[in-house]
Structure 1
Amino acid sequence: MGDVTHARGGEEVARALLSQVHPVFMLPPLAASLFGAVFAGQVAPAAAALHVVALFFAVYTAHVKDGYVDFHVRGEDDDHPLSASACRRALLGSTAGFLAALVGIWVTSGPGAVAITAPTWALGYFHAPQLDTHTVGATAGYPTGIALALLGGYYAQAGELTPAVLGLAGVFLLFLSGIKVVDDAQDYDYDRSIGKRTVAVVLGPRGAYRAAYALMATGMVAVVLLALGLRGIPPSAGLASLVFGVVALVARRAEPELATMLLIRGSYLFLAVLVAAVWFRPLG
């Protein structure tokens, strides 16, 4: 078998490799890293860039490994652009890129930033088939990666973690876990048939929706409390909860696929409002 399932040649191989960059899932951790840098105050471009590069390779590892497992191991997908051997080489390349970025982070930001960033690769590599078959791993794996991206981006600039950034990382973990529960509900029948214990399989679709919106609501309330009670988070950050809350109310009446699409885009708006609040501090 060649480098790709249906294609041959360098250009087609390059396209197949690029096909494993999924912007919907790639952009949030990169944006969270940059938000962490902005939240820290003064941004050192080299440190910020190295952290973003490391996260790119961590998420790319997750995408390649997930596709490899779903098509070549589990047989869940009907097609995949990369052969099994090409997947393994892509994983070696992305891991090498991640390790090189970690060396740069060590030089520019120290071992603490490396310690926070290194687990993102492990989350990506072990997502399938280890973490995604269990309730906590399937639900919280990606949100945990986003939270670590925020913390790592902040630490790479500030050299420390504060209660404010830890609180915001917890918020991201909560409301993104809620979105992931809704996303997994799309595959309830299939996941149940193969024994994949997502929240929807464990609690049923209705119970999963209640749990998902409880997680998201808790996260939104936490943002308001943090904005009112913690130094470093401007009061205007509470507006992010209002924006996401409106989207969540609309999504609650939609079927799982549309709800997931709305909630993911709502999370982009949530992050955009947080960035604007931290950057411009309109309320002082």
Structure 2
Amino acid sequence: MALARAESGVGATVSAFWSQVHPVFMLPPLAASLFGAILTTHFTPSLAILHVVAIFAAVYTAHLKDGYVDFHVRGEDDDHPLSEHGCRVGLAASTATFALCCLLLFVLVGWMAVALTLPTWVIAYHHAPQLDTNPLTATTGYPLGIALSILGGFSVQSGTIAAVPLGFALVFLVLLSGIKVIDDAQDYDYDRSIDKRTVAVTLGPQRAYTVAYGLMVAALLVVVAFAAARVFPPTAVLAAVAFAAVALVARRATPDIATMLLIRGSYVFLAVLVAAVWFEPLAALV
């Protein structure tokens, strides 16, 4: 049975599977895993890579399953590069890769690392058609995956968990949930026509924007509070300032432009936090 829908051959099949790699949405979970790893005092590259591969497999599963459901099950998409059989083969391969990574993590690190990594695949596989129809789970699924990536990346290195990664996980869960509400608002008319209950459909666009920016403000206030309490490095406040500047511009933009700005603002937010954590030991020597 053919794996690609449009063409046959090895090149077409590889291209079809590669089309399910979406860097804009895949890079943040992978970066979150590495961010969690550098929060520890001892960094083992091989373990970090193993966890990154597990997270990649989970996110790939999400994209593959989402495309499969939207095209082959719901008929919402106009096209999809993989056949139904190809989607199932891809899901089997990504799931097997994830399972192998979890097995290795259990052997090399312990049960906690697996306990914090396994839910990422559960969220990914069940995003469509189960979790994406409820306003709460449709909004928090991806942000929760990011939060778990941070916690898992830390636990893989340390074998435990601590207040700092928990704090950062909370911040990203709340911040990215706000961005996701704005992202979903782009599809308000279509989602409403098919009774897909996003926050925008449930509350209306204007109330959804209020909720979204309220969540983002709350996340930035948490960063400032944790920095003041010395849970986060003091320079973490710069990340909040940088993202706040982006959010102020996005507030006046259309949902599609706002989403683009806020997603890229979250990259800047993460980058500044990485710098704050990475250079904190050096600051202590000055």
Secondary structure of 1:40 counterpart = coil
Using the alignment, how far apart are the partners of 2:147 and 2:112 within structure 1?
16
In the other structure, the counterpart of 1:115 is 115
Moved more, 60-69 or 161-170: 161-170
In the other structure, the counterpart of 1:254 is 253
Conservation of the 8 A alpha-carbon contact between 1:113 and 1:156: yes
Using the alignment, how far apart are the partners of 1:183 and 1:102 within structure 2?
31
In the other structure, the counterpart of 2:177 is 177
Give how far 1:125 is off: 0.3
Secondary structure of 2:86 counterpart = helix
Give how far 1:41 is off: 2.3
In the other structure, the counterpart of 2:134 is 134
Using the alignment, how far apart are the partners of 2:41 and 2:56 within structure 1?
23
In the other structure, the counterpart of 2:51 is 51
Conservation of the 8 A alpha-carbon contact between 1:46 and 1:108: no
Using the alignment, how far apart are the partners of 2:158 and 2:53 within structure 1?
19
Paired letter, 1:96: A
Using the alignment, how far apart are the partners of 1:223 and 1:2 within structure 2?
50
Q: Please show how residues 37-48 of structure 1 align to structure 2 within 5 Å.
A: 37-48=37-48
In the other structure, the counterpart of 1:264 is 263
Conservation of the 8 A alpha-carbon contact between 1:37 and 1:153: yes
In the other structure, the counterpart of 1:23 is 23
Paired letter, 2:255: P
Give how far 1:283 is off: 4.9
Q: What whole-Å deviation, never above 9, does each CA across 1:242-264 have from its counterpart, x for those lacking one? A: 00000000001100001000000
Using the alignment, how far apart are the partners of 2:20 and 2:72 within structure 1?
15
Secondary structure of 1:220 counterpart = helix
Using the alignment, how far apart are the partners of 2:184 and 2:233 within structure 1?
34
Conservation of the 8 A alpha-carbon contact between 1:131 and 1:141: yes
Q: 1:283 to 1:218 in 2, by over 3 A?
A: farther
Q: Give TM-score scaled by structure 2 length.
A: 0.97
Q: Please show how residues 232-247 of structure 1 align to structure 2 within 5 Å.
A: 233-247=232-246
In the other structure, the counterpart of 2:75 is 75
Conservation of the 8 A alpha-carbon contact between 1:54 and 1:101: yes
Paired letter, 1:174: V
In the other structure, the counterpart of 1:278 is 277
Using the alignment, how far apart are the partners of 2:106 and 2:227 within structure 1?
32
Give how far 1:199 is off: 0.4
Number of residues paired by the alignment?
283
Paired letter, 1:105: L
Using the alignment, how far apart are the partners of 1:96 and 1:2 within structure 2?
21
Q: What whole-Å deviation, never above 9, does each CA across 1:70-122 have from its counterpart, x for those lacking one? A: 11111111100000010001000000000011111112211100000000001
In the other structure, the counterpart of 1:167 is 167
In the other structure, the counterpart of 1:209 is 209
Moved more, 273-282 or 30-39: 273-282
Moved more, 145-154 or 163-172: 163-172
Conservation of the 8 A alpha-carbon contact between 1:174 and 1:219: yes
Using the alignment, how far apart are the partners of 1:260 and 1:89 within structure 2?
33
Q: What is the identity percentage for the equivalent residue pairs of Structure 1 and Structure 2?
A: 60
In the other structure, the counterpart of 1:96 is 96
Paired letter, 2:14: A
In the other structure, the counterpart of 1:10 is 10
- Root-mean-square deviation over aligned CA pairs: 1.0
In the other structure, the counterpart of 2:148 is 148
Paired letter, 1:75: G
Conservation of the 8 A alpha-carbon contact between 1:235 and 1:283: no
Using the alignment, how far apart are the partners of 2:97 and 2:185 within structure 1?
34
